[in-house]
C-alpha cells in the first residue's frame, strides 16, 4: 500500500502544482500584472512547488529531516544527469550566453555552499545557513528581473497569460495548495515506511524515489522542449529548477528546522556538484556552446553507475 500511496501522492502533487500556477497566473493577470513578472515569479516558483511542499512536511518533524535534504540533492542530481542527459540524446542542447556566464556557475555554487556548510559548521545546515542561501536567492531574482526587462520584448512575445475571474482563481489556488499538502502528506510517511520495510535508510529513498517523483515536471518539460527543438528551454528549465531548489526550497526548510547531515551526504553532494561542473565544461568547450548527444549519454551512464553503487551499499 505504501508504494500505491506514494505514487498517488506524486500524482496529486503534480496536479496541485499545475492548478496553483494556473490559478495564481490568472489572478495576477486579472490585476494587470505583466506577463514577464508572472513568468519570473508565479510560474518559476510553481515548478518548484512539489519539492517545496514535500520539504516543508519533511522538515516539520525531526524524524524525517533526511528526506528534506536528500529530496533536494537527489532532485538536482536527477535534473542534471537524467533530465539533461535524456534531452541531449534527443537533441543537442544549446546554451545562451546568460546561462553560461551566470546561471550554470550559480547552480554549481549552490551545491558547493551546502557542501561547505555541512563540512565546516558541525555537519548541520543551520537556520543561519538557510538565511544566507535565501539572500543569494533574492540576489538571483533581482538579476533575473533586471536581465529579463532588458529582453522583455523577446520574453513577453512567447508568454501570454489570460485573466481569470477572482472566485475561479481562488478555488484553483486553494485547491492546488490543498492537493500539494495532501500529496506531500502521503509521500513523506510512505517513503519512511518503504525505507523501514526494505531495511535501508531514508536518505536512499529520498535520493531516488522521492527525488524522481518531485522531478517529474522538469523531466516532462525538458523532454518535450527537446522534441520541439527548443533545447535552450530544456537547459534553462533544469538549471533554473536546481537554483530554486537550493537557494529557495532548501533555505526555507533549514529556517524551519536545522537539517543535520546524513551518512554519505558528502558523496551525494559531490555527485550533484560534478553534474553542474560537467554541464559547465560541456557548454564551454565547443564552438556551438552545447551539450552533445554523446555527452548526454555520458551523463546518463554516470548516474546509473552512481545509483547502482548507492543501492548496493544500502542493501
The CATH number of the domain holding residue 185 is 1.20.1420.30
| 269-282: pLDDT as tens digits | 999 999 999 999 99
Average pLDDT over residues 39-43: 58
Residue 207: what pLDDT? 84
Residue 315: what pLDDT? 66
Please state the domain count of the chain.
1
> In the chain, what percentage of residues exceed pLDDT 90?
24
Q: Among 80-94, 167-181, 204-218, which range has the highest average pLDDT?
A: 80-94
Residue 64: what pLDDT? 77
Task: Flag whether pLDDT at 305 surpasses 90.
Answer: yes
- Those residues whose C-beta lies under 8 Å from the C-beta of residue 97, and which sit 6 or more positions away, are none
248: closest CA among 78, 66, 84, 47?
47
Task: Flag whether pLDDT at 90 surpasses 50.
Answer: yes
Over the chain, what is the mean pLDDT? 81
Domain region containing 162: 2-314
| pLDDT tier for residue 122 given thresholds of 50, 70 and 90 | low
The residue with cell 506514494 is: 6
| pLDDT tier for residue 106 given thresholds of 50, 70 and 90 | very high
Report the SS3 class of residue 261: coil
Residue 156: what pLDDT? 43
| pLDDT tier for residue 160 given thresholds of 50, 70 and 90 | low
pTM above 0.85, yes or no: no
> In the chain, what percentage of residues exceed pLDDT 70?
89
φ, ψ for residue 110, nearest 5 deg:
-60, -45
Taking the C-alpha atoms of residue 311 and residue 264, their distance in angstroms, rounded to an integer, is 12
273: closest CA among 90, 70, 112, 145?
112
Taking the C-alpha atoms of residue 137 and residue 39, their distance in angstroms, rounded to an integer, is 16
Amino acid at each position: 500500500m505504501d508504494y500505491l500511496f506514494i505514487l498517488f501522492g506524486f500524482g496529486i502533487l503534480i496536479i496541485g502544482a499545475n492548478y496553483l500556477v494556473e490559478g495564481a497566473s490568472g489572478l495576477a493577470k486579472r490585476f494587470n500584472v505583466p506577463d514577464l513578472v508572472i513568468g519570473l515569479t508565479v510560474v518559476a516558483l510553481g515548478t518548484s512547488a512539489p519539492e517545496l511542499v514535500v520539504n516543508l512536511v519533511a522538515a516539520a518533524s525531526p524524524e524525517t529531516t533526511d528526506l528534506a535534504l536528500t529530496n533536494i540533492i537527489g532532485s538536482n542530481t536527477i535534473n542534471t544527469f537524467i533530465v539533461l542527459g535524456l534531452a541531449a540524446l534527443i537533441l543537442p542542447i544549446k546554451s545562451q550566453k546568460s546561462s553560461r556566464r551566470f546561471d550554470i556557475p550559480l547552480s554549481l555554487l549552490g551545491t558547493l555552499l551546502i557542501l561547505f556548510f555541512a563540512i565546516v559548521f558541525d555537519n548541520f545546515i543551520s537556520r543561519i545557513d538557510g538565511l544566507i542561501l535565501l539572500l543569494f536567492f533574492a540576489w538571483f531574482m533581482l538579476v533575473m528581473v533586471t536581465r529579463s526587462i532588458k529582453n522583455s520584448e523577446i520574453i513577453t512575445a512567447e508568454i501570454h497569460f489570460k485573466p481569470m475571474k477572482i472566485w475561479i482563481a481562488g478555488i484553483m489556488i486553494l485547491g492546488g495548495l490543498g492537493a500539494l499538502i495532501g500529496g506531500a502528506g502521503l509521500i513523506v510517511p510512505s517513503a519512511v515506511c518503504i525505507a523501514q520495510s526494505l531495511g535501508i535508510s531514508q536518505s536512499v529513498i529520498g535520493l531516488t524515489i522521492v527525488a524522481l517523483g518531485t522531478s517529474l515536471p522538469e523531466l516532462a518539460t525538458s523532454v518535450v522542449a527537446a522534441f520541439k527543438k527548443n533545447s535552450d528551454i530544456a537547459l534553462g528549465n533544469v538549471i533554473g529548477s536546481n537554483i530554486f531548489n537550493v537557494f529557495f526550497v532548501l533555505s526555507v526548510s533549514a529556517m524551519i528546522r536545522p537539517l543535520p547531515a546524513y551518512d554519505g551526504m558528502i558523496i551525494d553532494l559531490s555527485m550533484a556538484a560534478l553534474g553542474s561542473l560537467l554541464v559547465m565544461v560541456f557548454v564551454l568547450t565547443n564552438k556551438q556552446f552545447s551539450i552533445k548527444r554523446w555527452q548526454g549519454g555520458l551523463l546518463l551512464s554516470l548516474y546509473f553507475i552512481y545509483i547502482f553503487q548507492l543501492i548496493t551499499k544500502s542493501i
